[in-house]
Structure 1
């Protein structure tokens, strides 16, 4: 297999020469969109061993590292998704969306949410609450990347689009802009109250408009999770499924107001809360992948060690 990428001042070429099952390659320069790797899974419908793989595509090992979980745990989630008649736990391709999802699932799991419930919740929140270009939770990397010098932007592959992997890949070389393990004011938070009620917020405390009474509140009610700890029964019902936000529909809007009041009471009388910074979870997951691939040095300070 032979592949090449041309860009400003670079020409990267790989050669695959089958010789007693061993492959050889030319050196892979930094920021080339492809990396050489022997893989043992089906990637985008092509089963192959020894191929030039896009650097922003991920193996099961990569995804497990992003989620800070074992490869077996990730394989279990992938198997559950594959066996489902209507797969919805995971994105359908092992690209940046899948890596971000793995990191968020790992963030929930690290906070004590059972693995399957974490995957179910992550999928539901992505669908109902967040509206980023890649369809996953906001990472804040795109905003940070605006501060990169022009030379750094030239090293990002021209066909990458708004891809958080490449933003992160550039940012880790600019510690004056990006500090691994550090939260940002714009980070999205998910709060789970009494293992049931789910809210979303912004770390900075930016008020969020309540659709049922036009009030601005520090967090927004996302919905209800039932079946905590019972994999086959885990279900998330979004607030919009419970009742309409449309004031032109008096009956369902009134129901929505009651749902909203129930959510406020649950928040006020909470026994236990779990708060997960899902944006930071994504950045930490990409940091782990970068360290695994040798793109970042081991964490040099206490903050990064904690991440």
Structure 2
């Protein structure tokens, strides 16, 4: 097919998956969807459905249209960079805890998009790890926000505060997953983001440097969420019960999985190595042809 036809078809695939990932400026549906969805719906959306878009890019857009993808890569990586900061800044302004977590997902998926289009096998495998780890950590945060809503009957963080000593286990576990989400060493999120940044540095050092500074903003909105929800003056004197065994088993299982990915990611890296090597070879060849044509 002609170069123009390949580019148009690739762009159609990219836009379709960009809406689902989501990529700025196709992201506006996600916070509203999370705000309206029940806890189970948010867990499904954050943990599984968003990741199918990244899978679609890796499985269809890049292998089917490698030359067009290589030409489009700088634009895609720039969109990922915009998503990192745009999602983080909007997360700052949220008072609804579920909308804050939703915008944090927009920010984290920016790293995945950068890794996918970097052309580095290390970054591609990092994107896979980040997809897995973010699926676990975001799902856990939505579960915890649902458990918090059951006790306080509000998602507005302005109506919370002073809950750290009033709800057994929930605040400490929320702090762990918030820290994991921003890339706490020893968790899967750290491994994914580290591989993405290290792998991307070879081909796009400036994008890597700017994206790394985005991690600082991630720590700010994560800690803002914890501070608003659990610290400060108490807004109510109502008696709040702690987490029961069912709730603890649910989130502790996710915590163990997240730590396992962070401490021993090799099984996941080995599983994705062959496929990501193929994608990297297609992209590398396309990048070489593009450079020689210029």
Q: With structure 1 as the length reference, what TM-score do the two structures score?
A: 0.26
- Which structure has the greater CA radius of gyration? 1
Which structure would you say has the larger RCO, counting Cα contacts within 8 Å and 6 or more residues apart? 2
Greater fraction of residues in helix: 2
